[in-house]
Amino acid sequence: MICTSNDRGHRTVAAEALTLAQLAQFDDIIDVRSPSEFREDHIPGAVNFPVLNDEERARVGTIYKQTSAFDAKKIGAALVARNIADHVEQHFSDKPKNWRPLVYCWRGGSRSGAMTHILNQIGWRAQQLKGGYKAYRTMVLATLQTLPGRFRYRVICGPTGSGKSRLLTALDELGAQVLDLEGLAAHRGSILGSLPDADQPPQKLFESRLWEALQKFDPDHPVYVEAESKKIGNIRAPDALLEEMWQHGQCVRVEMAQEQRIALLKEEYVHFLENPEALCHKLDHLTGIHGKGLIQKWQALSAGRAWDELVGELLAKHYDPAYNKSTAKHYTQFSEALILHPADISMESFREAAKKAMLE
């Protein structure tokens, strides 16, 4: 690990050298930025103990711009001191003497410097992240341009409702290396793919999660990933990863009968079956593609809960044509794909299919 001492005597860690193994050497990773900064993105595993909350940060910033840096620093120092004292009393008081936290803020400046200084003065072994979150973010972006190229990908292909996500789950249960992009993005990847109980993460947080996931893989074994286009909901997958998947990925194709696909989709999208109005609202977004008349027909099927007919039409007229076009355009090895035929939509059938995929 690359460590240095800054001009205040604090031990620092260079963000350019961070790996998950190096992060694991610390007992805790403390993000002292404001809660809104933390929500946008943070180092994997970090906990948020802000030295200035969002309101306090805005107040100090306003004084800095409208009055003077000196006045802003006086007010900011008092706020930071009180907040650090609260954190020490409420969250750190039970830490042992050999506790070793890594502390960071936006640029590795005064916010993390104040926390690191006080923790070290108490007797703990705190270290400050050199360059802070900004340096970490630069490192993540650079790494995501090269790290995807270290692995061999087996890309799970198949039309909507063929059980690609279930196959990934089964592969994961059997110990295969699985990159769940839709899980990281909290989205199923289509116009109807938003999750009922989770919002999508910000783009930066998705990239941090992807960086973390890729670092856990062994290049000597394949990585299984579901076929994706450039965007997963509002999230954009990195170009370097997509290029590896599209140009070099070994395709594994899942095929199921139409009635099985319909049954599986009704299970996975049960929230729409329980709330037809929400589905009708989503279908409005397809008007530009299919025209008002067809959308109104689909909305009437939804309102009448004619689910098998509706799902069948959506597959035939929207999802399957889009899938065929995208697959032919992106996946160069699709014609050579291993084809899997799960017996039914049960997880046991997908486990058997996963075993076959892992043997090839």
Of the residues 105, 157, 251, 280, only one is catalytic, namely: 105
Contact 200, 215 (CB under 8 A): no
Other CB atoms within 10 A of residue 329 CB? 10
12 strand-pairing partners: 4, 128
**CA-CA distance, 62 to 244, in Å (whole number)?**
46
The side-by-side arrangement of strands in the sheet containing 47-48 is 3-5, 11-14, 127-130, 101-104, 28-31, 47-48
* Number of C-beta neighbours around residue 291 at 10 A: 11
102/15 Cα distance (integer angstroms): 11
Alpha helix locations (H) across 7-67?
Answer: 20-23, 35-40, 54-66
Q: Assess whether 157 carries a catalytic annotation.
A: no
Residues whose CB is less than 8 angstroms from the CB of residue 98 and which lie 6 or more positions away in sequence, other chains included = 125
Query: In sequence order, what E strands does 266-330 have?
Result: none
Amino acid identity of residue 130, one-letter, is: K
Q: Tell me which residue has tokens 């009635």.
A: 259
β-bridge mates for residue 11, sequence order: 5
Q: How far is CA 353 from CA 77, 160, 255, 340, 347, in A?
A: 61, 17, 11, 6, 10
| 7: CB partners within 8 A, 6+ apart | none
Active site residues: 105
